[in-house]
Amino acid sequence: AQKITQTQPGMFVQEKEAVTLDCTYDTSDPSYGLFWYKQPSSGEMIFLIYQGSYDQQNATEGRYSLNFQKARKSANLVISASQLGDSAMYFCAMREVNFGNEKLTFGTGTRLTIIP
């Protein structure tokens, strides 16, 4: 089974609209962390936001917020008021620690295109 599932290979959104990128995860560990990264066409991985499994509140960072629904095992990224510069690949990732071994597992990504 996939550890991280991103079901939207590509999305097109009108500039200034809000957009939600879906991410579901699978783990039996009680302690884990969820990350979102942005990868523009230049290729670098840019950290956007983090949510810990024990965090009571949904994480927010500027225009980015994480809609964390623990019972549903989903961690969707919400970008408010989208901008042309938001066009990029977006990856959801999960950090697990098993017997001292740490692993960051990535989803397959969603390519977001913002339309002027």
Partner 1 sequence: DADVTQTPRNRITKTGKRIMLECSQTKGHDRMYWYRQDPGLGLRLIYYSFDVKDINKGEISDGYSVSRQAQAKFSLSLESAIPNQTALYFCATSDRTGGFYGYTFGSGTRLTVV
Binding site for partner 1 (CB under 8 A): 4, 9, 33, 35, 37, 43-45, 47, 50, 52, 91, 93, 95, 101-109
Q: φ, ψ for residue 46 (rounded to 5)?
A: -110, 120
Name the residue nearer to partner 1 (CB basis): 3 or 73.
3
Specify whether the CB–CB gap between 103 and 95 falls below 8 A: yes
Residue 53 CA to residue 31 CA, distance in Å, equals 6
For 80-114, give the DSSP string. Answer: SS--GGG-EEEEEEEEEEETTEEEEEE---EEEEE
CB 27 to partner 1: min, Å: 15
Name the residue nearer to partner 1 (CB basis): 38 or 86.
38
Q: Cβ of 36: how many Cβ atoms within 10 Å?
A: 25
CB 47 to partner 1: min, Å: 7
User: What is the DSSP code (8-state) at residue 55?
Assistant: -
CB 102 to partner 1: min, Å: 7
CB 22 to partner 1: min, Å: 15
Name the residue nearer to partner 1 (CB basis): 5 or 67.
5
Name the residue nearer to partner 1 (CB basis): 60 or 116.
60
